């Protein structure tokens, strides 16, 4: 049930339901009734309801809601963008079932209503809102009257979450069958309020049949490949994560990643560090091992032990040739790799070199590679990739970068997107603003490394790590600093595993 449908895929889902015997008017009736139910939960009978309808099926849902609410005793006014005789198909039939007045949208007075239903434009809006619709939406936003949006707030692009011109924030949004990307991607996510997904009678197997490849990031995505250790297992069976440390100034980043990796289940964790940094690491770390790494020869020697099967490179590692060489050696050695921060910036001038290293890594696709950039690092890395296509959609950007680089890309932010090179993607929904603090990303890199060390496939490892990170951030809450996050992971895992 956690599939996310693009607007085009939602059209296919509607068509599949109709082909299976559910008529278009029936789907619209169910959608409109779901909207009416939400309004009824928020306002008592007799309340003044302003319903703003557009010229398409979204407006048709609004007309159904108007009829149902009027029958229940609400004082309903309907205002339409365009003329009644301009409606077509199911929307025209829905409008014909409404026996009250239908007024011009330009005359809508949201300040005189107790609640507004926004059914002007749906998730498939393909142009900026202007003219009368823009004027009325601005009045709605200024009125402060609570808004229930149908599918998405009018003006929000359902595929990207971007605002096309203008949009009024809703207190609740009613969408149908499954979420759309714009419900989870900002700024749309902030404008939708509480999102309710209404069942309108489309079969649950439809997403699989039409090839949906986007999901809301939840444990259902990774529970089948990530669980508690076996009763007869041992630490070597849980993998060994190797964290590359930079100089003394940024050594804390490597320690954060290492502690997170150990907390998330890696059987062993080693920090590889220059000699002058070893005392600081040794003084601060107990269960995490430290090993001297003063250059390529030492790094190669550490990688030669194949039990060190996952590498975390990037947190304060330093930007430059030495980090590039360390990444190249790890990929050539056949280790699973998490590349973050400085490891990504080190390839900003030649991202095709990173692409080629990933493509020719030892072990091929069996060896997972996960990149964890924030927006700034992402922009520097992808701008020169020949196969990358920019987009206003964060989901599309992450997908394009994953395909161009041949690796899983975790495009971080309040709406983190995880994309695999084959087109699978997930949008995270459990983040918290308390995670916006120094070192938080280093912890995330360590979590990914831990799961890769435990042989969780790269896409699922990235999804699980992002979800664990969000849950840990919520568990700590106000006052969170990055050092708190590893200690919160055991409680999150306990709840996840039902231990």
Mean residue pLDDT across the chain: 97
pLDDT band at 113 (very low <50, low <70, confident <90, very high): very high
pLDDT of residue 103: 98
204 exposure class (CB count in 10 Å sphere: 0-12, 13-18, 19+): exposed
Q: Give the model confidence (pLDDT) of 56-87 as tens digits.
A: 999 999 999 999 999 999 999 999 999 999 99
Q: Strand order of the sheet with strand 417-419?
A: 214-217, 425-428, 417-419, 408-411, 369-371, 336-339, 310-313, 240-244, 268-273, 289-292
Residue 365 has pLDDT above 90, yes or no: no
Helix boundaries (H) for 373-424:
375-382, 394-405
Average pLDDT over residues 487-498: 97
Where does the chain hold its CATH 3.40.50.10260 domain(s)? 7-212
DSSP strands (E only) in 36-185: 48-53, 75-80, 102-104, 115-119, 147-150, 172-176
Residue 1 has pLDDT above 80, yes or no: no
Handedness of CA 381, 385, 388, 389 (dihedral sign): positive
DSSP 367: S
pLDDT of residue 460: 98
Q: Give the model confidence (pLDDT) of 267-289 as tens digits.
A: 999 999 999 999 999 999 999 99
Q: How far is CA 241 from CA 192, 215, 307, 335, 488, in A?
A: 41, 28, 9, 9, 20
Lookup: tokens for 484 = 């708190």
Fold of 7-212: Rossmann fold (3.40.50)
286 exposure class (CB count in 10 Å sphere: 0-12, 13-18, 19+): exposed
Average pLDDT over residues 463-477: 98
- The contacts of residue 418 (CB under 8 Å, 6+ apart) are 217, 398, 408, 409, 410, 411, 425, 426, 427, 428, 459, 462, 463, 466
Alpha carbon 442 to chain centroid, angstroms: 19
Q: Which CATH class is domain 219-497?
A: alpha beta
**Number of H helices and number of E strands within the chain?**
18, 17
pLDDT band at 383 (very low <50, low <70, confident <90, very high): confident
Where does the chain hold its CATH 3.40.1190.20 domain(s)? 219-497
Only one residue has tokens 């339901």, namely 17
Q: Give the model confidence (pLDDT) of 324-356 as tens digits.
A: 999 999 999 999 999 999 999 999 999 999 999
Only one residue has tokens 């493509």, namely 359
What is the distance between the alpha carbons of residues 158 and 125, in angstroms, rounded to a whole number? 7
pLDDT of residue 384: 86
pLDDT of residue 36: 98
What is the distance between the alpha carbons of residues 476 and 480, in angstroms, rounded to a whole number? 6
Where does residue 123 fall: left (phi above 0), alpha (psi -120 to 50 degrees), or beta otherwise? alpha
- CA torsion angle 330 333 337 340 (round to 10): 10
DSSP code string of 218-237: -GGGTTTT--PPPTT--GGG
Average pLDDT over residues 447-460: 98
What is the distance between the alpha carbons of residues 252 and 284, in angstroms, rounded to a whole number? 9
Lookup: tokens for 182 = 């714009």
Residue 499 has pLDDT above 80, yes or no: no
Q: Is 484 helix (H, G, I), strand (E, B) or coil?
A: helix
What is the distance between the alpha carbons of residues 66 and 78, in angstroms, rounded to a whole number? 7
DSSP code string of 195-212: EEEE--S--TTHHHHTT-
| pLDDT above 70 as % of the chain | 100
Residue 273 belongs to what H/E stretch?
A: strand 268-273
What is the distance between the alpha carbons of residues 116 and 126, in angstroms, rounded to a whole number? 23
Task: Using DSSP bridges, classify how beta strands 425-428 and 417-419 pair: parallel, antiparallel or unpaired.
Answer: antiparallel
Lookup: tokens for 416 = 């983190």
What is the distance between the alpha carbons of residues 125 and 453, in angstroms, rounded to a whole number? 44
Between helix 351-359 and helix 375-382 the angle, nearest 10°, is: 90
Tell me the pTM: 0.96
């Amino acid at each position: 049930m956690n599939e996310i449908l693009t607007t085009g895929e939602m059209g296919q889902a509607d068509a599949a339901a109709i082909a299976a015997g559910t008529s278009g008017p029936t789907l619209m009736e169910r959608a409109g009734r779901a909207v009416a139910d939400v309004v009824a939960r928020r306002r008592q009978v007799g309340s003044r309801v302003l319903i703003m309808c557009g010229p398409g099926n979204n407006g048709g849902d609004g007309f159904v809601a108007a009829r149902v609410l009027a029958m229940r005793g609400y004082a309903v006014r309907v205002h339409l963008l365009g003329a009644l005789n301009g409606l077509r198909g199911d929307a025209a039939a829905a409008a014909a079932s409404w026996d009250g007045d239908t007024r011009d949208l330009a005359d809508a007075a949201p300040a005189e209503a107790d609640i507004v239903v926004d059914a002007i434009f749906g998730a498939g809006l393909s142009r900026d809102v202007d003219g009368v619709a823009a004027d009325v939406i601005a009045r709605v936003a200024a009125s402060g009257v609570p808004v229930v949006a149908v599918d998405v707030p009018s003006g929000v692009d359902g595929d990207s979450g971007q605002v096309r011109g203008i949009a009024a924030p809703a207190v609740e949004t009613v969408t149908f069958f499954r979420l759309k990307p714009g419900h989870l991607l900002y700024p749309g996510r902030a404008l939708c309020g509480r999102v309710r997904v209404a069942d309108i009678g489309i079969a649950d197997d439809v997403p699989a049949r039409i090839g949906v490849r986007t999901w809301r990031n939840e444990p259902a995505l990774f529970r089948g490949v990530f669980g508690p250790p076996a009763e007869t297992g041992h630490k070597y069976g849980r993998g060994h994560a190797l964290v590359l440390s930079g100089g003394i100034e940024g050594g804390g980043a490597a320690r954060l990643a290492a502690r997170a990796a150990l907390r998330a289940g890696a059987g062993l964790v080693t920090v590889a560090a220059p000699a002058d940094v070893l005392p600081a690491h040794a003084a601060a770390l107990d269960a995490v091992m430290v090993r001297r790494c003063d250059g390529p020869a030492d790094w190669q020697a550490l990688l030669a032990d194949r039990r060190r099967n996952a590498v975390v490179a990037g947190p304060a590692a330093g930007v430059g040739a030495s980090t590039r060489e360390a990444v190249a050696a790890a990929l050539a050695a056949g280790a699973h790799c998490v590349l973050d921060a400085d490891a990504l910036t080190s390839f900003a001038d030649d991202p095709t070199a990173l692409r080629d290293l990933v493509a020719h890594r030892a072990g091929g696709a069996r060896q997972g590679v996960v990149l964890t950039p924030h927006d700034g690092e992402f922009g520097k890395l992808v701008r020169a990739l020949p196969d990358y296509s920019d987009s206003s959609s964060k989901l599309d950007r992450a997908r394009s970068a994953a395909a161009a680089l041949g690796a899983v890309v975790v495009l971080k932010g309040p709406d983190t997107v995880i994309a695999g090179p084959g087109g699978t993607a997930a949008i995270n929904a459990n983040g918290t603003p308390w995670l916006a603090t120094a070192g938080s990303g280093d912890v995330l890199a360590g979590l990914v490394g831990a799961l890769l060390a435990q042989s969780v496939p790269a896409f699922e490892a990235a999804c699980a790590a992002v979800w664990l990170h969000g849950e840990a951030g919520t568990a700590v809450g106000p006052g969170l600093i990055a050092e708190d996050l590893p200690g919160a992971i055991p409680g999150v895992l306990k709840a996840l595993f039902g231990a």
